Amino acid sequence: MSPQKYLRYFGLNSLFGTQRTKEILSVNPTVLPHREEATHVEVTVYDYDSANIQVHHFNNVSPCEKFRKDGRITWINIEGLRKSDVETICTTYDIHPLLIEDILSINQRPKMDEVEGVLFCLLNMLFYNDQKKTVETEQISIALGKDFVISFQEDAHRDVFDLLRSRLNMSNSKIRQRTADYLLYSMLDLIVDNYFIVMERLGEQIEMVEEEVIRRSNTKSLARINQLRKELIVLKRNLAPVRDLISGIIRSESDLLDDRTTKYFKDVYDHIMQAYDLGENYRDIVTGMQDLYINNVNLKLNEVMKVMAIVTCLLAPATVIGGIFGMNFEVIPYAHHKWGFYFAVGCMLIIPIWMLWVFRRRGWF
Per DSSP, the residues of 66-120 read: GGTTSSSEEEEEEES--HHHHHHHHHHTT--HHHHHHHT-SSPPPEEEEETTEEE
Across residues 80-102, what is the average pLDDT?
91
Whether residue 39 is predicted with pLDDT greater than 70 in this model: the reply is: yes
Across residues 303-320, what is the average pLDDT?
87
CA distance 68 to 64: 7
DSSP 229: H
CA distance 74 to 149: 6
Check if 31-296 and 306-361 are the same fold.
no
Which pLDDT score, from 0 to 100, does residue 31 have?
57
| CATH number of this structure's domain 306-361, picked from the four choices 1.20.58, 3.40.190, 2.60.40, 3.40.50 | 1.20.58
pLDDT confidence band for 44 (50 / 70 / 90): very high
Segment 153-166, tens digit of pLDDT:
988 778 899 999 99
Which pLDDT score, from 0 to 100, does residue 5 have?
47
Domain ranges of the chain: 31-296, 306-361
Segment 226-285, tens digit of pLDDT:
889 989 998 998 999 999 999 999 998 888 998 888 899 999 999 999 999 999 999 999
Whether residue 310 is predicted with pLDDT greater than 80 in this model: the reply is: yes
Which pLDDT score, from 0 to 100, does residue 269 have?
95
Whether residue 12 is predicted with pLDDT greater than 50 in this model: the reply is: no
pTM for this predicted structure: 0.80
Query: For 116-125, 144-153, 204-213, 329-338, which range has the lowest pLDDT when averaged over its residues?
Result: 329-338
CA dihedral 349, 354, 359, 365 (to 10 degrees): 50
User: Is residue 280 exposed (0-12), middle (13-18) or buried (19+ Cβ within 10 Å)?
Assistant: middle
| CATH number of this structure's domain 31-296, picked from the four choices 3.10.180.10, 1.10.1840.10, 1.10.4190.10, 3.30.460.20 | 3.30.460.20
